[in-house]
Structure 1
Amino acid sequence: MSGEVYGTERPRKKRWGRRLLITLIVLLILLAGVLVALDRFAAGYAERMIGDRVSEQIADQKATSEKPDVTIEGVPFLTQVLDGNYERIRIKLANLSGPAGNNRTVRVGNLDVNADNVNAPLDTIRSGNGDIVAKTVTGTGVIDYPQLAELIGQPGLKLAERDGKLVGSAPVQALGQTFDVSGTAEVTVKEGVVQVRFSDVTAANLPNVPLIRNLINSYVQKLSVDLRVPELPLKLAVQKVEPTPDGLRFTAGADNVSLNAGGL
């Protein structure tokens, strides 16, 4: 009789233990799901807040773009909140367009911005008071060649990249003839302004006549252009420009930038 009693009690205890373990696992899974959802909700809120501030500054600069796409990298987000430091925040601006001086408008198809080493104290996130500051901000964008040729404003001008350099070609009328001239441009940045200066312009079968040479030299001067990239958000200033197959690629940067201040 005693053997039968013990034989029925032990299975009941094992079943109860398994149920308790399954219940605990289910609760842990649910808790993990809630934490993930809360983490993504908090990250989404912060991303929207930063995106709204960037949009405000773009509007203040009389520029336009599509809605900023903001991504706070690194998971979980909440541990970064508690620490008050974020490795990187990415901001993508599509179709940025703005004034570039002399009644001209410049379009940048995509501006990619990385804000690194961002300091955002928990009290700032909670109250909205204080600054969220990125130690460094870098941005890259491309001005395509058809647009650059349009800004230079010389009929028939075609631009391209060759061996890492900006080259151009265009037809020039002289003495009743048409000469296809071509040359290489030097592209530099001075005080945030992109300068394009052509030199070594040549043409096949070009007569060595002073009148024609002067005409070509005069044409070369017209190819020069000072291009101010639309005022960029987050205090970004153009630092470098290089020709690429898609267009002039510029790199901009700034230090110690507030990501949430109204004026950024």
Structure 2
Amino acid sequence: MADSYPTSDGRPRRSGRPRRRGRKVLVTLVVLVLLLGGLAVAADRVAVSVAERTIADQVQQEVSRQRIDSAAPQVEVAGFPFLNQVVAGRYERISIQLRDVRGSVQGNAVNLPTLDVDARNVRASLDTLRTGQGDVVAETVDGTGTITYDSLAALLDRPGLKLGERDGRLAVTAPVDILGQELTVSGTAEVTVGDQGQVALKVDEVDAEGLPALPLARTLLNQWAQGISIDVPLPELPFQLTVREVRPLPGGLEVTADAREVPINQRVG
């Protein structure tokens, strides 16, 4: 029983020790709950880190299998709590960043400084992540990459050709010999995606400073423009990505691609 002593009006007054003891117990419980919660969050983040390293290793194997060179992939697994996704074997979103991607087309190197891949609704069992064996399959995969203009110009194989971006269109500049005069031709081209996923170029505005005022000179200039209005094949992209859209940007030709039901790792075993 708590100690008591009389008040000024003669009524007993209880000491404050039991109340203080109750507050201490409550504080202790709160601290324990916070500590356990912190440990759970820490365990969740450790599991994410392990999964990201495992998936990154498997993605690197898949990219190498397709004979595509790149820097080590950076992988980020989204969603919290992560351990719930592990138990379900299904992950909301996995982001994969590939840098310095190098493919080839008919022996010509094609450089993609960046290739960002967004995989959603990814199926991967706990055993697959633990052993590295089995499939990691994404329901949908979206990719966005950038092809350097130097790589694209090399595929066109026109001496001195330079490509860039001007007002949202593909800018074309090249030295051309017309009627014995070397002129600098400049113009713009429409860029679309062909039926087979290649880049389709159509030069629709072209001119040359100092072009002789002769019908033959204009005809030769137009013929040159038609000569580079061709379909340019692109290198095979990882994860079965199919190109859907291309867009000229200051840093290169942006390529947007997608795929469905895609294995994003190399199956082992």
TM-score with structure 1 setting the length: 0.84
How big is each residue's C-alpha offset from its partner over 1:79-131, in whole Å with a ceiling of 9 and x where there is no partner? 22334433211110011111122x10111111011011223455655676653
Per-residue displacement from partner, 1:191-220 (whole Å, max 9, x unpaired)? Answer: 122232324433244235465345434433
2:96 corresponds to: 91
CA distance in 2: counterparts of 1:182 and 1:68, whole angstroms: 39
The partner residue of 1:196 within 193, 201, 207 is 201
Q: How does 1:116-155 map to 2 (within 5 A)?
A: 116-121=120-125, 125=129, 130-155=134-159
Alignment partner, residue 9 of structure 2: none
Residue 177 (1) aligns with residue 184 (2): no
Superposed displacement of residue 60, structure 1: 1.4
Q: 1:250 aligns with which of 251, 255, 262?
A: 255
Q: Compared with structure 1, are the counterparts of its residues 124 and 143 closer, same or farther at alpha carbon in structure 2 (3 Å cutoff)? A: closer
Q: Structure 1 residue 17 and structure 2 residue 22: aligned?
A: yes
> CA separation in 2, counterparts of 1:3 and 1:25?
30
The one-letter code sitting in structure 1 at the alignment partner of 2:17 is R
Partner of 1:49: 54
**Equivalent in 37, 62, 70 of residue 65 of structure 1:** 70
Q: Which residue of 2 aligns with 1:35?
A: 40
Q: Work out the CA distance in 2 between the residues paired with 1:148 and 1:120.
A: 37
Give 1:221-260 correspondences, 5 Å limit.
221-224=226-229, 226-260=231-265
How many pairs were matched up? 260
Aligned residue type for 2:55: I
* Structure 2 SS opposite 1:146: helix
CA distance in 2 between partners of 1:73 and 1:43 (Å):
9
Alignment match, 2:113: 109
Change (3 A) 1:228 1:30: farther
The CA RMSD measured in Å over matched residues stands at 2.8
Q: 1:110 to 1:31 in 2, by over 3 A?
A: same
Distance in 2 between the 1:124 and 1:61 partners? 21
Distance 1:50 1:123, change over 3 A: closer
The secondary structure found in structure 2 opposite 1:216 is helix
Which amino acid is 1:109 matched to? P
Deviation at 1:46, TM superposition (A): 1.5
Question: TM-score when scaled to structure 2?
Answer: 0.83
Structure 1, unmatched stretches of 5+, are none
In structure 2, what residue type is equivalent to 1:216? L
Residues 167-210 of structure 1, C-alpha deviation per residue, up to 9 Å, x if partnerless?
A: 21223223342323223323222312223232443324423546
- 1:85–1:120: 8 Å Cα contact kept in structure 2? yes
Larger radius of gyration: 2
> CA, structure 1 residues 109+176, in 2 after alignment: closer, same or farther (shift >3 Å)?
same
Q: What residue ranges of structure 2 are gaps of 5+ in the alignment?
A: 7-11
- Aligned-partner Cα distance in 2 for 1:125–1:55: 15
Contact 1:165 1:185 (8 Å CA) reproduced:
yes
- Give identity over the alignment, percent: 47
Distance of 1:113 and 1:64 partners within structure 2 = 16
